[in-house]
Amino acid sequence: MSNPSVAQESGNNPPTPKTAPKPRCGPSQEAFITQIRKSIKTDANFLHDKDWSRLSHSAGDRPSLRGKAHVKASDFYVKCIAAWVPHMTPNHIPTCVKCQRKDFVDKHQFRFVENPKTLCGVVSHRCLDTVCHHCDACTGDFVAWHEATIKADAAEISGILNFRLSKGFAVDEELHSYMVSHATDTTAAMHQRIRKMHGDRWLNDACNCYRSVLAGRVQQTNPDLIQGTQQSTLDSHVRPVEKGTASTNKRQRLQFELHCTKRDLREKESSCASDVHFINIFRLKQHRNAIGAMFPGIGRGKCMTLIQ
CA distance 126 to 11: 45
CA distance 24 to 68: 34
- pLDDT tens, position by position, 161-204: 889 888 889 999 999 999 999 989 898 999 999 999 999 988 98
CA distance 283 to 290: 10
Q: Which string of DSSP letters, residue by residue, matches 115-135?
A: SPEEEE-SS-EEEEEEEEEEE
- pLDDT tens, position by position, 203-237: 988 888 888 888 777 776 655 545 555 556 665 55
Confidence class of residue 10 from pLDDT cuts 50, 70 and 90? very low
CA distance 85 to 87: 6
Closest CA to 127 of 179, 73, 163: 163
Residue 5: per-residue pLDDT: 45
- pLDDT tens, position by position, 144-170: 898 889 889 888 888 888 898 888 899
3-state secondary structure of 218: strand
Residue 130: per-residue pLDDT: 92
Q: What is the enclosing helix (H) or strand (E) of 25?
A: none
Distances (CA, A) of 217 to 64, 207, 226: 10, 14, 18
The one-character DSSP state at 290 is -
Share of the chain above pLDDT 90, in %: 17
Angle at 59 between CA 85 and CA 171, to 5 degrees: 45
CA distance 162 to 195: 23
CA distance 142 to 104: 13
CA distance 13 to 65: 58
3-state secondary structure of 97: coil
**Average pLDDT over the chain, rounded to an integer:** 79
Higher pLDDT, 147 or 59: 147
CA distance 213 to 17: 46
Residue 119: per-residue pLDDT: 92
Confidence class of residue 9 from pLDDT cuts 50, 70 and 90? very low
Stretch 3-14: mean pLDDT: 47
pTM of the predicted protein model: 0.61
